[in-house]
Amino acid sequence: MDRALEIRPFGPDDDIEAELDLRRRAFGPISGADESTWVADMRDVIDAGQMLGVFDGGRAVATARYYAMRQWWHGRPMPMAGVAGVKVAPEERGRGVGRALMTRLLADLAAAGYPVSTLYPSTLPLYRSLGWENAGGRYETVIPAHALAALTAADPHLAPGPRPDAAAASGAGAASGARAASARAAERATVRRAAPADASAVIVALDAAHQALRDNGPNTRDPAGLVRWLDDPDHFAYLADDGFLSYRWADGHEEVYVEYLVAASSATARAFWQILGSHATMAGRVRACLAPEDPIGWLLAEPTAVTSRTETWMLRVLDPAQAIAARGFPSAVSLEVAVDLRDKQIDANSGLWTLQISAGGGKLTPAAGDTGRRALRLGARGFAALFAGVPLATLRQAGLAAGDDHADEALEYAFGGPAFMYDYF
């Protein structure tokens, strides 16, 4: 920065109109109900002390915020700071303001004890220079709505209860047999409409699902953050013990846009898809934010679902020892490897470490006095990408990993992947 600008938390007494103006100039127009919701969201963030501003004589010329979230790694949650709304007034760009703001935010997040942070980037160099790296994706699957009318039945050899051959023997056609089986399975799931008062129950259901599915990457927010969403009459939400569905109309009523479809059991998944498929009389397609390997591809009768990665998110591991201790690992993996980690921004992370993984858990401990040992060499960016399941083969080719490779294959299996999120912030 070329002059004395002050970086400090954006407080309740600072001018929220200045933040709204910055937001409009950085990300485009916002008005009406969207503006009211946005201002209410910002007030919550500001009250929680989670927005940083760069001030020129009391006027905000740049801001960035974070949300206190939890992120699931191989089915275990850890605190995660979700960074959003990084913006500098156009006339101040290219002078180091953004870098100064993000450098301070990084230090604040590390000091606050977050093991990890994520963000959706619109540009990479700034975040890379501070140790964030491409880590996971957000995936959308588009399905013709009519294709959801009859999901394939479970393999008859595996399904409990009476064999579906009975339906065939009674003269029912294959499609109506599949429809009946699908409806029977859906009936077994207890799915109900979710209201604002269900916010805590939604979090409990999502927790149960992410744990059961051993998910890598999805985040949850606190129940307070969900209430406004569940209260919006244009969002339709359904809750099961092991799942959550939320969707809205898009493109008039041509599309059903699914923000969340998380279901740990087959019965809940089928119940949710049946609700969505019931809109086929009005909607031409369902666009759903899903896990990249969501079972819908196996439930549809024809190859009509098209999945694409619509966004990439970056990860920063702020406290590697804490992050490794908090995440889950496949219980079949047992390994020990020396890791030579260099973190230019957070000195305490640099050094020679021993990474041990066994019995579904991990440990990263300093390998003091053992500096001659062969080690896997990583910077903060390589460590973040490995943590998110990016294969070491990829990281070596990208120049983000070097050194000892004896444990590469086991490490790739241990960290899994691909990581994904539903939430866009």
Ligand X SMILES: CC(C)(COP(=O)(O)OP(=O)(O)OC[C@H]1O[C@@H](n2cnc3c(N)ncnc32)[C@H](O)[C@@H]1OP(=O)(O)O)[C@@H](O)C(=O)NCCC(=O)NCCS
Contact residues for ligand X, defined by CB under 6 A: 26, 86-88, 93-99, 121-123, 125-126
Pick the closer one to ligand X by CB: 104 or 214. Answer: 104
Alpha carbons 301 and 282: distance in angstroms, whole number: 21
Pick the closer one to ligand X by CB: 122 or 190. Answer: 122
Any residues with CB less than 8 A from the CB of 28 and at least 6 apart, and which?
none
Cα dist. 2→64, 102, 268, 370 in Å? 20, 16, 57, 44
Scored b (16 or more CB within 10 A) or e, 16-51 reads eebbeebbeebeeeeeeeeeeebeebbeebbeeebb
Nearest of 35, 30, 82 to residue 422 by alpha carbon = 82
Pick the closer one to ligand X by CB: 63 or 268. Answer: 63
Pick the closer one to ligand X by CB: 192 or 309. Answer: 309
Burial of 224 (0-12, 13-18, 19+ CB in 10 A): exposed
Pick the closer one to ligand X by CB: 93 or 235. Answer: 93
Pick the closer one to ligand X by CB: 24 or 377. Answer: 24
Alpha carbons 343 and 3: distance in angstroms, whole number: 28
In the complex, least distance from residue 65 CB atom to ligand X, rounded to whole angstroms: 11
- The DSSP output letter for 281 is G
Residue whose structure tokens are 């604040």 = 108
Question: In residues, how long is the chain?
Answer: 425
Residues 255 and 287 sit within 8 Å (Cβ to Cβ): yes
Torsion of CA 329, 262, 265, 309, to 10 degrees: -70
Pick the closer one to ligand X by CB: 87 or 381. Answer: 87
In the complex, least distance from residue 129 CB atom to ligand X, rounded to whole angstroms: 6
In the complex, least distance from residue 128 CB atom to ligand X, rounded to whole angstroms: 8
Any residues with CB less than 8 A from the CB of 161 and at least 6 apart, and which?
none
In the complex, least distance from residue 70 CB atom to ligand X, rounded to whole angstroms: 22
Nearest of 137, 133, 127 to residue 311 by alpha carbon = 137
In the complex, least distance from residue 92 CB atom to ligand X, rounded to whole angstroms: 6
In the complex, least distance from residue 90 CB atom to ligand X, rounded to whole angstroms: 8
In the complex, least distance from residue 404 CB atom to ligand X, rounded to whole angstroms: 31
Pick the closer one to ligand X by CB: 87 or 221. Answer: 87
Cα dist. 172→181, 238, 263, 403 in Å? 12, 31, 30, 63
Q: Closest residue (Cβ) to ligand X?
A: 98
In the complex, least distance from residue 349 CB atom to ligand X, rounded to whole angstroms: 22
